[in-house]
Structure 1
Amino acid sequence: MALAVSTIVFLVPFAFIVLTASKTSADASRFEFSWPGDFVLLQNIAEVFKVRDFVIVRAFINSTTLTVSSVAVMVVLAAMMGYVVQRRTGLFTSAARMLVLAALIVPSAVVPTIWVLQALGLYKQMLGMILIEVTGGLPFCVLLCSAFVATIPRELDEAAALDGAGPLRVFFRVILPLLKPVVVTMVVVQSVAVFNDFTGPLYFLPGEENATVQATLFNFQSQTLSQWNLLFADILLITVPPLVLYLFFNRQIVEGMVNGAVKG
């Protein structure tokens, strides 16, 4: 029953997107769940690419740069922080754990964040947006890594230390390879989150040269005209990369979540 409900909830909207993206402008404006009279999906996609001098190509480059950079920094920092928080005891690690939990609860403030970015000279800059994405996703990743590290026996750390390995070598040579399932989980989940982020780039990375894929949705809506067929074709293009990523790594996502929950 749950599988059937999930199928309806996710596949029906996706089918509606594909069908609407395949229609002419007049047919798409009716918002009917029906087979298109003229199947013009490829023509609509080609038209989407031509809008505003191929802005969607630049948007895909910006979104890919933002996603890859943010997730790479996020995963490395989360793995190291999760390892320290789980293995060490003391006032510092307790405070760090509380800060991580607070970061999950306390909502972000847009205007003060803009002031900080302006003071640092990072407003409307890709580096500033990367820092925002890393800050937003890091708490969840730290908790996930910390729970997974709890399943790794401490004897491995001690054996490596007895062989003369320092803390960094223990982490990179012993612990990090064992974190592969949770690393894949973090990469996929956070890649989808960053790639699909709409409000973050809207507030902190304005400007046509900084356009991300989500911002391109504005291209096909105005007060006088809404090109629904092109809008849904754009949505289809934006949906495909995260969907493909999930289809290839869904087993690893589940494995990382379940293994991290055994002791976490």
Structure 2
Amino acid sequence: MAYPTAHTTKVENHRLRLLNKLKAGEFPLMTFVAIPSVRQAQIVALTGLDGIIIDCEHGHIGDDSMHNSVAAISALGVSPIIRIRGPAHDIIKRALDTGAHGIMVPQINNAEEAKQIVASSKFPPQGVRGQGSAFPSIGHGITTPQYMQSANETVVTMIQIETREGVENIDAICAVPGVDLIFIGPNDLAQSLLGYVPARGDEPEFLAAIDKIIAAARKHGKWAGRMVNDGAAAKEARKRYDTVAITGDTKAIQNWYIPEFKIARS
């Protein structure tokens, strides 16, 4: 039996900024936040972007900061997305119970892992997600019954492709119902394919892998996204991707201060 997904949902909720812009083909912009602070989350949310990825994989983010950041971001009309640290069922449940508008799961290698993620992120009958938290509905600006009726088709499930095995299995991964968006982690992908050099980004093997990922996403009707380093790269990415994440808070802070101090000392 076919079920509505984030791609086909007819649910209208103005709070779901990232989903709404993806569906409208408006190339939403995101960034990563790794610093555990409600104020940091608010400051970034007021920059005009559409989604903030709370980085619970590599960032200094615990459960308390995860919950507080989701509340702060969603209250300001921006979509909070949680990059979880792994595909375990309890981690996915915990992340979604914050009220996040989506999850991003790193280093997915095959279709079986993708299927397990989808099952953990959806309530029955599509999945096995349990219900018991009052917080998800707050993050979506609706009642708990409304959330229960709509979450399976409005929460955006993002799968990260960052390994050679993930590239080899990308067609099967993209074919999994309930996977909404394929997100390329270029740094880890390049490291997996080439070893740490560091990569320039123009190596034939790396570029071929990118092409293969995007082609599979398009074939199976999935959105495609990636991380980029700056606005110019994001603008260029509009030709091939549906969304991008432009660097993160830690890099952004350094990228402003370092050249300014250099000028001041010149």
TM-score (norm: length of structure 1): 0.25
| Structure exhibiting the larger radius of gyration computed from Cα positions | 1
Instruction: Identify, as 1 or 2, the structure richer in helix.
Output: 1
Structure with the largest fraction of strand: 2
Larger RCO, structure (CA 8 Å, separation 6 or more) = 1
